[in-house]
Amino acid sequence: MDHKKVAEDVVKAVGKDNMVAAAHCATRLRLVLKDESAVDQAALDQNDGVKGTFSTNGQFQVIIGPGDVNNVYDYLIKETGLKEVSTDDLKQIAAKNQKTNPVMAFIKLLSDIFVPIIPALVAGGLLMAINNLFTSEFGDQSLIQMYPALKGLSSMISVMSAAPYTFLPILVGISAAKRFGANQFLGAFVGMMMTVTATNPAAIEGMKFWDLFGLHVSFAPYTSQVIPALAAVWVLSVLEKWFHKKLPSAVDFTFTPLLSVLITGFLTFIVVGPVMREASNLLTDGIVWVYDTLGFVGTGIFGALYSPIVLTGLHQSFPAIETQLVSAFADGKGSGDFIFVVASMANVAQGAATTAIYFLTKNEKMKGLTSSASISALLGITEPAIFGVNLKLKFPFFCALVGSAVASTLAGLLHVIAASMGSAGFIGFISIFPKSIPFYILCELISFAVAFAITYVYGKQHMDLVDPAVAPAVATEATSQPAAAEEATTTATGEAVTIAAPVDGKAEDLAEVNDDVFSQKMMGDGAAIVPTDNTIYAPFDGTIAVAYATKHAYGIKGDNGAEVLIHAGIDTVNLEGQFMESFVEQGQQVKKGDKLGTVDLAKVKEAGYDTTVMVILTNTANYQAVTADALGDVKHGDDLFTAVK
């Protein structure tokens, strides 16, 4: 790679005067820009030295690759005259540079609180859906009536499925306390006291209310409530911080938790709880009223708008509403969760549009991206498809809106509703009320067919939009075909190299990683490991090509020809080497099993970082196939994946 040329190209595409600050991590340039809309995205996409770009938290990130990114960054600094800053400094600059929007700040707050607990809600929702299959009537009888032996299993699943919704205030309390800067166990405490009257009726036996200083205080439980729990934990956080500042250290440990919880409890049951519960009910009732009033017209409009709502992040607030809809439906009230149905139609439509681009494009880089992004969207995760493909090309995004609107309108007309939360995609049928499942599948297929057909037909007529450089690319390919064929013949040797696990833990597919750079395989194929041990070992014999000062990543060039990046954690570069130790340096020879370094997993988690270790074959292009050798529990030294030339 010509590092200087790549740096110059990046500066030209981004705009020298558009850059505020720049830093880099193990794989990417991290830039703070004045105006991201001024970036020449097409130039970056077509640059062979750039493996991808994305924007997050005020940073425009350009993926270069391990080892190369250091040199490109050095030339970029020389070219622009910017001062070198750390990734932590850049994070603060990005925060200052971002315009504060109260609405978006509130949405981000909800996102920060709800995203961590969504897996529990989805698991509970899917269990609830399984139980619905047991108890709903198919014809004249339900499955448990036809097969009484299933009754015990159904009852057990029913108990398990109810847990995250009954005790939702506890989950919200833990997550909200972390977000608000309060003690998470005190947050759980507040959630528990809001549900205890429902689970321990003996505590209030014979009482209609609490008589406190002449006030008649209701002790109605707050099971399945979200907004009251959020407000109560916010009050807790304010009180806890205040007492920590005011109380002497000698009594702070004992009396801060006591006073914080006591006062929060009084305020919750007397004022905060009743007011917020009424606000929550009004919000839910209002949304249900719109659904009941506008019917299929409303779902059609919502279907057309859902993906644009995803762009704003507003969809992160929907789980707070959906939990109320699902809980009400479980109690025999309300219309069920229609938001889930619309979200499914929108997600499938975006996946269909991306699939159409896969069949249209001649660009191998785009084919690789669309193949993974489309599957992800069809299973309910649309960000890679929307941001990585459809918005970049523009027309697929809008074609998908048409498919979503048509399918959502039909779903509203057929009264398709969800009885629980789940994965909003093709496999979401399990969350649908059983009698609506055939209609749900029909609507999903229509959403896919309409979005795919419109995207494909329009794209076929406008190939310049699909592949802007298609003409020159085809000419070059045609003139160099013999050489390419000869190269393919000489490199297709069938030779295989095996990469061992560098750490103990649970191996999983890269697609599971919570970072688009790795999950979309922008850096290359490989695997991920959720570590259970602090030590990182060399996965094969080779040379340390890169040993970062931040101690969070290692680049190794193997004697077997493999070039591998071991990246410990996500965004752990921000820790600047804290809680990590490195035992190697650049140029050092290592043998398989040699210790490369350690990571204090507990402290990294406590600092709020994901500890997943990514093992990336950065020269994947030199191999025909990469296949996993292990999923699940692995020990360092076990075969992790194999690459075949």
Residues labelled as active-site residues: 25, 567
Closest C-alpha among 7, 121, 88 to residue 424: 121
CB neighbour class for 36 (10 Å; exposed up to 12, middle 13-18, buried from 19): middle
Q: The tokens of 565 are what?
A: 């990046």
Half-sphere exposure of residue 107, counting CA atoms within 13 Å on the CB side? 14
* Interacting residues of 222 by C-beta distance below 8 A, sequence separation 6+: 169, 194, 195, 228, 229, 273, 277
Q: Which residues pair with 337 in a beta bridge?
A: 418
Residues in the chain: 645
Spatial distance between the Cα atoms of 224 and 325, rounded to a whole number of angstroms: 10
At residue 459, what is the residue type? G
Helix axes 395-413 and 338-360, enclosed angle (nearest 10): 140
CB neighbour class for 396 (10 Å; exposed up to 12, middle 13-18, buried from 19): buried
Cβ atoms 349, 447 nearer than 8 A: yes
Three-state secondary structure call for residue 308: helix
* Interacting residues of 391 by C-beta distance below 8 A, sequence separation 6+: 311, 397
Is the dihedral angle over the CA atoms 628, 629, 632, 636 positive or is it negative? negative
Residue listed under structure tokens 């990514």: 614
Spatial distance between the Cα atoms of 59 and 61, rounded to a whole number of angstroms: 6
* Interacting residues of 577 by C-beta distance below 8 A, sequence separation 6+: 549, 550, 551, 552
Q: The tokens of 517 are what?
A: 């750079």
CA angle 553, 628, 558 (to 5 degrees): 45
Distance of alpha carbon 312 from the chain centroid: 15
Measured in degrees and rounded to the nearest 5, phi and psi for residue 227 equal -60, -45
Measured in degrees and rounded to the nearest 5, phi and psi for residue 147 equal -130, 80
Cβ atoms 341, 136 nearer than 8 A: no
Spatial distance between the Cα atoms of 351 and 448, rounded to a whole number of angstroms: 8
CA angle 238, 240, 243 (to 5 degrees): 110
Spatial distance between the Cα atoms of 594 and 502, rounded to a whole number of angstroms: 10
Alpha-carbon distances of 279 from 71, 143, 230, 329, rounded to whole Å = 55, 39, 12, 19
Cβ atoms 436, 417 nearer than 8 A: yes
Q: The tokens of 161 are what?
A: 């499925």
Spatial distance between the Cα atoms of 230 and 182, rounded to a whole number of angstroms: 12
Q: The tokens of 349 are what?
A: 């439509």
Spatial distance between the Cα atoms of 571 and 53, rounded to a whole number of angstroms: 16
Spatial distance between the Cα atoms of 169 and 192, rounded to a whole number of angstroms: 7
DSSP string, 457-497: HHHHHTHHHH-TTHHHHHHHHHHTHHHHHHHHHHH----EE
Spatial distance between the Cα atoms of 548 and 551, rounded to a whole number of angstroms: 5
